[in-house]
Amino acid sequence: MDVNAINAELIRNEIKGMRKPITGNKTREILQAIAKIECPIERMTLIAEVSKKTGLPKRGLQKELDTLLLPAPQSSGVITENILIAHPACEVNDLFMSLGFKESVIENGKPTEQNFYLVMGDEGPRIVRENTARIGEFNVIFDLRNRILPTLAERWNKQCLRAFVDNPTTPTNVYLRIKQIVREYVEFQNDAQYGLVAAWIIATYLSRCFHAVPFLNILGKKQSGKSRLLELLNRLCFNAIKTKGVSLASLADSVDGVRGTFLQDQAESLSMEKYRELLGILADSYTAGGGKRRVIDFQNRERRIVEFETFGFKAFASTRDIDVDLKDRCITISMIRAEKEYPYPEAHFALWRELRDELYRLALTKWQDVKAIYQEAGRNVKQRVRELWRPIETILTLEKVGEEEVGSIYNAFLEGVEEAQVGLSPLESELFEAIFRLLGDNSTGILGAEDIQKVMLDVEVGEGKQFRSGKALQTWIGTKIKRLYLSCEKFSPDGKRRTYRFEKDHLKNIFNRYQTGAGGPGGAETSIDAGSRTDTFFPSAPQGAETQPAPHLSGTFRTYQNEVSGEKSNDNNHSRTLTPLTPICTGEKKEYNNEEMLRGYVGRYTAQGLSLPEARRLARIDYEADHGPWEISG
């Protein structure tokens, strides 16, 4: 059929003469012919006839016709204004959200693959089959390069996509359904982790709405369910890519190509020397614009620099701790062997396609709401903890999750990031304590690393185990003084000894900065007013709460202040304010020396807003005062 010399009657006769099965190419040929008709009413009538003949929805046919009716390029063939470059796999900007796919088609009797883009803007969804499109006032270029888009049949399907284009409704209770599916396939020790992982899965479909995203570190021994959870994420997450080993080049190519969720099993291998460069890219890829890789590309004898991005959600399963820089960006999900057998998330289950259909629909209809909610998320959380929490809170707010459940999920999130994110490490807190003890009643003093080392020499917790000699501990102290900016002045070495001038107010200020990282959603931040008290650098009790002196404990922090009564212990001239904690259990030691009781002590302090490491240390003080020597592992 000659589409350049046609009229409405010829098209109508062509439609009547169409015989089943009617191919997509034939339908598109008819639409191209209709696009040549100048009368809008005539075009609408012909679209109705095509719909009746083919069984295709009129709305979908009209959208494809609208694409064909876009203005032709200028006579020069060059457009230089209002150009917007979009990623072909997934793009989110102020104008639209788009997803790219490839599908198998038959062209001229031969099978081939064809790319297309589902664009969702203010005017609703539409399908674009060219690498350029007019969207609003912009000429959009889908920057395909050599990127290979995900196959539609593997992630979604044509029937569901067309149904969405014809009727772009928002699914309901997606969060609840995903959470229930996670519960059916894996076992967590903390019930709130099901909601945390469900929100994380949904967030992977909206990663381009966020400035930073949290990774997952699935940690546990063999046969604890790590690989099964990773496989479940592979079924549900956006454009998931699961691997056991990866090179820097393949990481950049695959993640950049589909902007998908990167999942790696046996991630402990990343600590090997040969993966040092890859590790740096991964650690940097939790922020938008981070983790980019630049390579020199030679094409047609021309040299150019090509940039690949690796930003996006990632999950790492390992049997031991991963590299500290990477862990710093992770929510750790600790797993143990399940009490019962759980099913394996087989790839052929129709369930996964149904759930991904809901996730696609939710993302495409709610991306603007997500961008708006994200701006207000994490108001009471600080620094990197806030960066990692905001996407999770955004999804929970979008799905209208109850305040109590959000609080539980936030606590599970904090437990997952506490080692790398919340407050100071136990040994760093010991360093602050040692300096305060040495300063005594003085507001300032000159000390050396050797002085501090002598006080800390009996440290046997956490990082302290690595120091086999006083000299090694001195080196660590000197490094921390420099990195945490603890001293106000540094003096040249006198012989072999370097000294520093410390001020209490400055130390309090530094300590408080690390205590304000986890206020929580809707909660108050924990901080110290250095001028309101004279001898304490730990968070105070809630306003109006009664306090009582805490008992003596040798080997850790020794002194406490009762701000209500004014009583103060005489041990090392240090103080701490606490809300009253009565013994959780009394009687013989065998009745209370157990893990459940320890969690009870810790829980009372975390409820006051203290970070988990500090709550554990305070719990140890109360435990030993109530019951005797600390004998609980961990």
Q: Which residues contact 281 (CB under 8 A, 6 or more apart)?
A: 248, 251, 252, 291, 293, 310
Contact 281, 248 (CB under 8 A): yes
Average predicted confidence (pLDDT) for the chain: 78
Whether the pLDDT of residue 632 is over 60: the answer is no
Residues 488, 494, 498, 504, CA torsion sign: negative
Better-scored residue on pLDDT, 471 or 175: 175
pLDDT given at position 209: 96
pLDDT band, very low/low/confident/very high, at 520 (cuts 50, 70, 90): low
Q: Alpha-carbon distance 457 to 482, whole Å? A: 20
| Of 152-166, 307-321, 450-464, 505-519, minimum mean pLDDT range | 450-464
- Give the three-class secondary structure for 544: coil
Contact 66, 59 (CB under 8 A): no
Cβ neighbours of 409 (radius 10 Å): 26
pTM of the predicted model, to two decimals?
Answer: 0.62
Query: Which region holds residue 145: left if phi is over 0, alpha if psi is between -120 and 50, else beta?
Result: left
Q: Which residues contact 528 (CB under 8 A, 6 or more apart)?
A: 508, 511, 512, 515, 536, 537, 538, 539, 540
Q: H-helix or E-strand containing 489?
A: strand 489-490
DSSP structure class, residue 358? H
Whether the pLDDT of residue 128 is over 80: the answer is yes
| Pair of tokens at residue 85 | 């470059």
Read off the pLDDT of each residue in 93-121 and give the average, rounded to a whole number. Answer: 93
Better-scored residue on pLDDT, 519 or 485: 485
Better-scored residue on pLDDT, 337 or 197: 197
pLDDT given at position 79: 64
Q: 351 to each of 230, 259, 630, how far by Cα in Å?
A: 17, 23, 50
pLDDT given at position 545: 33
Find out if CATH 1.20.50 is the number for domain 8-68: yes
- Which range has the top average pLDDT, 293-307, 312-326, 417-431, 462-476? 312-326
Q: Alpha-carbon distance 140 to 383, whole Å? A: 36
The architecture of the domain spanning 426-513 is Orthogonal Bundle (1.10)
pLDDT digits (tens, 9 = 90+) for 2-30: 444 457 888 888 888 777 767 777 888 88
Q: Alpha-carbon distance 417 to 214, whole Å? A: 10
User: Where do the CATH 1.10.10 domains begin and end in the chain?
Assistant: 426-513
Query: Which region holds residue 573: left if phi is over 0, alpha if psi is between -120 and 50, else beta?
Result: left
Whether the pLDDT of residue 367 is over 90: the answer is yes
Read off the pLDDT of each residue in 442-455 and give the average, rounded to a whole number. Answer: 89
Cβ neighbours of 310 (radius 10 Å): 24
pLDDT band, very low/low/confident/very high, at 389 (cuts 50, 70, 90): very high
pLDDT digits (tens, 9 = 90+) for 118-127: 999 998 999 9
Whether the pLDDT of residue 460 is over 60: the answer is no
Contact 611, 515 (CB under 8 A): yes
Q: Alpha-carbon distance 124 to 611, whole Å? A: 46
Using a 10 angstrom Cβ sphere, with 0-12 exposed, 13-18 middle and 19 or more buried, the burial of residue 84 is middle
pLDDT given at position 435: 92
Read off the pLDDT of each residue in 203-208 and give the average, rounded to a whole number. Answer: 97
Percent of the chain with pLDDT over 70: 73
User: Where do the CATH 1.20.50 domains begin and end in the chain?
Assistant: 8-68
pLDDT band, very low/low/confident/very high, at 72 (cuts 50, 70, 90): low
Whether the pLDDT of residue 50 is over 90: the answer is no
Give the burial string for 313-342 (b: 16+ CB within 10 Å, else e).
bbbbbbeeebbeebbbbbbbbebeeeeeeb
Task: For domain 174-417, give its CATH number from 3.30.70.860, 3.40.50.300, 1.10.10.10, 3.90.1170.40.
Answer: 3.40.50.300
Q: Alpha-carbon distance 23 to 26, whole Å? A: 5
Percent of the chain with pLDDT over 90: 37
pLDDT band, very low/low/confident/very high, at 518 (cuts 50, 70, 90): very low
| Of 86-95, 397-406, 483-492, minimum mean pLDDT range | 483-492
Whether the pLDDT of residue 263 is over 50: the answer is yes
User: Where do the CATH 3.40.50.300 domains begin and end in the chain?
Assistant: 174-417
pLDDT band, very low/low/confident/very high, at 77 (cuts 50, 70, 90): low
